[in-house]
Amino acid sequence: MAQAICVPLYNCLTDTYRYVRPGNSSEYQNFWLSAIGATVRMNDLANYPEDIYVVQSTCNAPPTDEFCQQCFQNMGSAVIANIEFVENLSCEEILPPLNFLINCKANIDTEQRPFVISPDTVLIVTNDLTLYQGGIIKIEEYPDECYSIFIDQNVALEDAELVTVTITERYDDCECCVEKPVVITRTISEPVKDFTISLDEQCYIETTEKFSTNYYNLYLEKAYGINNYCDYQDLLKLWVEKELVDYQKINNNPL
């Protein structure tokens, strides 16, 4: 009788091991030895759900390391011989693709693994995002955030929780999605007139004095009925002259 062996089978979907007893015959043992590295499916649905397993190694009795000790301690009592070989696939090929939401505000390099999982960086969702690929989405759970879509099969995770989200809007790019703050700028217009301006030029002084005197006299007449100027003055002409000397002052140009 051949030496007893234990076969650890790795389940990629659940990241767990199942330990099986292949029997003590040379035929069984040679069969499992030839299966190392292969992908198999158990045809024993009562004890082994229809998952796909990778045959990573075999352990001989007595076990010489902790991994093989665990295999012999946990293997079932039933002899497993009814298996089905499937196409040799790696765990990366067996695992379904994962759907990631990358926050537009975060500087995430999708080549750097593992991701830090949080609403501010990356979310892993159960939603089928195929129809939204190439776009940017908003979700009900985090309405102030915008997310790009990244679908990948070969991503290392560290006990990350998968969530289901409700998609509310789709945009063409992050710039369109991220709301920019509205900046209100208060502008104070410069006064149109500044009658406090005084120049040393005699022309400006005389024009300003004549303008202010006559308009003050006009004020006294309208307010109190006092008429204390003898010569008639063309007030519109005075206004134009004052405009011209003010223009000269403001633009620093001679008339």
Distance CA 83, CA 7 (A): 13
pTM above threshold 0.85: no
pLDDT digits (tens, 9 = 90+) for 117-153: 889 999 989 888 888 888 999 999 999 999 999 887 6
Does residue 222 surpass a pLDDT of 70? Answer: yes
Name which of 197, 191, 194, 228 is nearest 213 in CA terms: 228
Instruction: Tell how strand 5-11 and strand 52-55 pair up.
Output: antiparallel
Of 68, 74, 60, residue with least CA distance to 2: 60
Residue 130 CB coordination number (10 Å): 10
The full set of domain ranges for the chain reads 5-92, 98-177, 202-251
45 SS3 class: coil
Contacts of 82 (CB under 8 A, 6+ apart): 42, 43, 44
pLDDT in tens, 74-122: 876 555 655 666 666 666 666 667 889 999 988 888 877 778 888 999 9
pLDDT (average), residues 54-73: 82
Q: How confident is the model at residue 247 (pLDDT cuts 50, 70, 90)?
A: confident
Phi, psi of 118 (to 5 degrees): -170, 160
- Give the count of beta carbons closer than 10 Å to the beta carbon of residue 14: 10
Give the contacts of 30 (CB within 8 A, at least 6 positions apart): none
Type of residue at 238: L
Query: What is the average pLDDT value for the chain, to the nearest integer?
Result: 76
69 contacts: CB under 8 Å, gap ≥ 6:
63
CA distance linking residue 22 with residue 41, whole number of Å: 14
CA distance 241 to 214: 13
E strand or H helix at 222 = helix 202-224
